[in-house]
Amino acid sequence: MTRRRALTLAAAALAVLLAWLVGWPLLVTFGEALGGPGGWTLAHLRAFAARPDEWLALWRSLWTSAASVALAAAVGVPLGFAFERADFPGRRFLGAAAALPVALPPLVGVIAFLFLFGESGFATRAVQAALGLAAPPWRLAGPGAILLVHTYSFYVFFYLFTRAALARMDGSLLEAAASLGAGRLRTLWHVTLPLLRPALSTAALLTFMTALASFSAPYLFGGSFRVMTTQIVASKLNGDDALAQVETVTLAALALLGLAAMRRADRRAERVTGTRGVPPRRRRLAGPARWAVGGLAVLAAAFLLLPHAVLVLLSFVPPFTWTAEPFPPVLDLGNWRTLFSSAERLRPIANSLWMATAATAAALALGLAAALVARRRGGRLATLLEGLLAVPWALPGTVFAVALAVAMSVNAPWQGRFLLIGTPLILPLAYLVRGLPLTGRAALAGLRQLDPALEEAAASLGAGTFRRLRRITLPLLRPAVAAGAALAFVTALGDFVTSIVLYTFETRPIAIEILSGLRLQELGLAAAYGVLLMAASAGAFALRGEGREL
């Protein structure tokens, strides 16, 4: 009984702390959006609703997100089928490479595209030179550019979910369909696709919400084509706080709707995919089909790896040496030397490193504690804790950035508000909130997979609560939690969306430095920073892969 009471206390304390971190800034923002000098007012809301460009931004957010889902599915699903159902040379390596964009910080993907397809990008110049054109054949701007980047970044969701669902599928179902006389198309249409539906709808929602939250691509390519996230930041930077608050609340409401839909889809998916049996067999392709599919997959993988390669190459191009040539004439280590020899250039790296480390450590401790307590305590408090861990995952970074900026702009400790804006603490705090779902959900998932009999066995062998935690639970959770922490670290290290709202010059992180590199035409330096983030992401992704094997 006392153990239960201690757990309840711990759960309540954690719930209060998480609510303060995750929920309170949003509530304060909501309150301010409805508040005025004379008490409650709908004036801000009315002003918002009266402006046509707000409605336009909302509409653009929705339709680009929907289009992103369709495009990402069109690329990701066939790719998932090809890699899971067919066997061809290089399948394993290319299959892993195709999942790379999942851990790439959005800003890095965007600048890689800029260097590849932008006005003076490699591909653009190559086509221009080949066709002898006077002007670049296209401009990387507007909704088309945004959708291109979204497709490239988000097809991974469809790709991974399709592959996972196909791998899980009971092969005897396909054999049963065949024995009942169904051909390949009929089986695909009546058996495989219906079974994939939960996975695909989850991927679709995930893509939709990520697209809704996307900031880097619309910010760099959108120009006057504003979506909600860029609209919010523009209002905030223009000093129109009230408008920014209403916009933030609107976007948050949209995202929470998405989260609710997602949870329902999740539950449905759990119900459907409970079968086990023979793993489906991979079709060994022979003759021309083998080479055709193999060749296509190689091409696709090359296309996917091209932005990464371009980024690396560009980091070796000295400033202002590459003008009209299709390929840079000079390559040297100058950018890298500058980056590592000047204290001012190293500053953003040091900033990002310490802020990401501190935020990840805190997110790890909090997420792990909340998951452990929730799992053991059960009941409504556990549901609350799990919900609080999931909220920042569903809400766009822009929403949190603005909410933190609003809530932490005054010193009112009795209201749970502290003056943190402009201090070095605000960014780590923002990163912590964004990292919580990654560490917390990883810990929850790991705990769910843990056989309760293992802990019982340890208890029956005389191990008390802490020895069980130290010797059994934590070591077994390590792969899952390490993967979650690595993702949280990389997300914080490359964060752009919250940083642009909350940074100060002293605490400027890598992403902000990349942006200023672009503005100052120091493309090589920006690329070098990007390569660093890319390398960190690849490392985290390798860890993530290990965690999944558990």
Regarding 350 and contact with other proteins (CB under 8 A), the answer is: no
What gap in Å lies between CA 328 and CA 527, rounded to an integer? 14
In the list 269, 476, 482, 531, the residue contacting other proteins (rule: CB under 8 A) is: 476
Q: Least distance to other proteins from the beta carbon of 545, Å?
A: 19
Find out whether 235 and 244 touch, Cβ atoms under 8 Å.
Answer: yes
| DSSP secondary structure letter of residue 87 | E
In the list 38, 134, 464, 519, the residue contacting other proteins (rule: CB under 8 A) is: 464
Q: Least distance to other proteins from the beta carbon of 475, Å?
A: 5
Residues 6+ apart with CB under 8 A from 279: 167, 171
Instruction: Tell how far CA 417 is from the center of its chain.
Output: 28
Q: Least distance to other proteins from the beta carbon of 448, Å?
A: 16
What gap in Å lies between CA 371 and CA 415, rounded to an integer? 27
> What tokens appear for 210 in the block?
């990520």
Q: Which of residues 432-451 bind other proteins (CB under 8 A)?
A: 451
Secondary structure of 454-502 in the HEC alphabet? Answer: HHHHHHHCCCCHHHHHHHHHHHHHHHHHHHHHHHHHHHHHCCCCCHHHH
Regarding 461 and contact with other proteins (CB under 8 A), the answer is: yes
**Positive or negative torsion for Cα 477, 483, 488, 489:** positive
What gap in Å lies between CA 228 and CA 248, rounded to an integer? 8
Q: What's at 70, amino acid-wise? A: A
- Closest CB to other proteins among 91 and 468? 468
Q: Least distance to other proteins from the beta carbon of 473, Å?
A: 11
What gap in Å lies between CA 84 and CA 86, rounded to an integer? 6
Regarding 331 and contact with other proteins (CB under 8 A), the answer is: no
Phi, psi angles (nearest 5°) of residue 175: -65, -40
Q: Least distance to other proteins from the beta carbon of 454, Å?
A: 5
Q: Least distance to other proteins from the beta carbon of 443, Å?
A: 16
Find out whether 435 and 488 touch, Cβ atoms under 8 Å.
Answer: yes
- Closest CB to other proteins among 46 and 471? 471
Stretch of 23-31, 272-280, 426-434, 470-478 lying at the interface with other proteins (CB under 8 A)? 470-478
Stretch of 91-99, 455-463, 524-532, 541-549 lying at the interface with other proteins (CB under 8 A)? 455-463
Q: 3-class DSSP state for residue 412? A: strand
Regarding 6 and contact with other proteins (CB under 8 A), the answer is: no
Pairing of strands 86-87, 39-40: unpaired
In the list 50, 131, 343, 453, the residue contacting other proteins (rule: CB under 8 A) is: 453
In the list 53, 332, 456, 506, the residue contacting other proteins (rule: CB under 8 A) is: 456
In the list 134, 460, 505, 519, the residue contacting other proteins (rule: CB under 8 A) is: 460
The HSE-up count of residue 80 (CA atoms within 13 Å, CB side) is 24
Stretch of 232-240, 245-253, 347-355, 454-462 lying at the interface with other proteins (CB under 8 A)? 454-462
What gap in Å lies between CA 431 and CA 491, rounded to an integer? 8
Question: How wide is the angle at C-alpha 21 spanned by C-alphas 216 and 110, nearest 5°?
Answer: 10
In the list 56, 66, 463, 469, the residue contacting other proteins (rule: CB under 8 A) is: 463
Q: Least distance to other proteins from the beta carbon of 471, Å?
A: 7
Q: Least distance to other proteins from the beta carbon of 32, Å?
A: 46
- Closest CB to other proteins among 325 and 456? 456
Stretch of 52-60, 154-162, 173-181, 468-476 lying at the interface with other proteins (CB under 8 A)? 468-476
> What tokens appear for 434 in the block?
């964004």
Find out whether 82 and 285 touch, Cβ atoms under 8 Å.
Answer: no
Regarding 462 and contact with other proteins (CB under 8 A), the answer is: yes
Regarding 458 and contact with other proteins (CB under 8 A), the answer is: yes
- Closest CB to other proteins among 47 and 550? 550
- Closest CB to other proteins among 27 and 457? 457
Phi, psi angles (nearest 5°) of residue 139: -115, 135
Total binding residues toward other proteins, as defined by CB under 8 A: 16
Stretch of 271-279, 317-325, 456-464, 495-503 lying at the interface with other proteins (CB under 8 A)? 456-464
What gap in Å lies between CA 115 and CA 396, rounded to an integer? 26
Q: What's at 400, amino acid-wise? A: F
- Closest CB to other proteins among 256 and 450? 450
- Closest CB to other proteins among 66 and 458? 458
- Closest CB to other proteins among 256 and 458? 458
Residues 6+ apart with CB under 8 A from 12: 381
Alpha-carbon distances of 449 from 303, 384, 441, 442, rounded to whole Å: 36, 21, 12, 11
Stretch of 285-293, 358-366, 467-475, 514-522 lying at the interface with other proteins (CB under 8 A)? 467-475
Stretch of 87-95, 226-234, 362-370, 463-471 lying at the interface with other proteins (CB under 8 A)? 463-471
Regarding 459 and contact with other proteins (CB under 8 A), the answer is: yes
In the list 144, 223, 475, 545, the residue contacting other proteins (rule: CB under 8 A) is: 475
Stretch of 127-135, 238-246, 311-319, 471-479 lying at the interface with other proteins (CB under 8 A)? 471-479
What gap in Å lies between CA 539 and CA 546, rounded to an integer? 11
What gap in Å lies between CA 504 and CA 518, rounded to an integer? 19
Regarding 549 and contact with other proteins (CB under 8 A), the answer is: no
Nearest to 215 by CA among 149, 117, 140: 149
- Closest CB to other proteins among 222 and 479? 479
Stretch of 57-65, 223-231, 291-299, 460-468 lying at the interface with other proteins (CB under 8 A)? 460-468
Q: Least distance to other proteins from the beta carbon of 380, Å?
A: 17
In the list 13, 333, 454, 535, the residue contacting other proteins (rule: CB under 8 A) is: 454
> What tokens appear for 131 in the block?
């066709």
> What tokens appear for 286 in the block?
């022979």
Residues contributing to the site for other proteins (CB under 8 A): 451, 453-454, 456-464, 471-472, 475-476
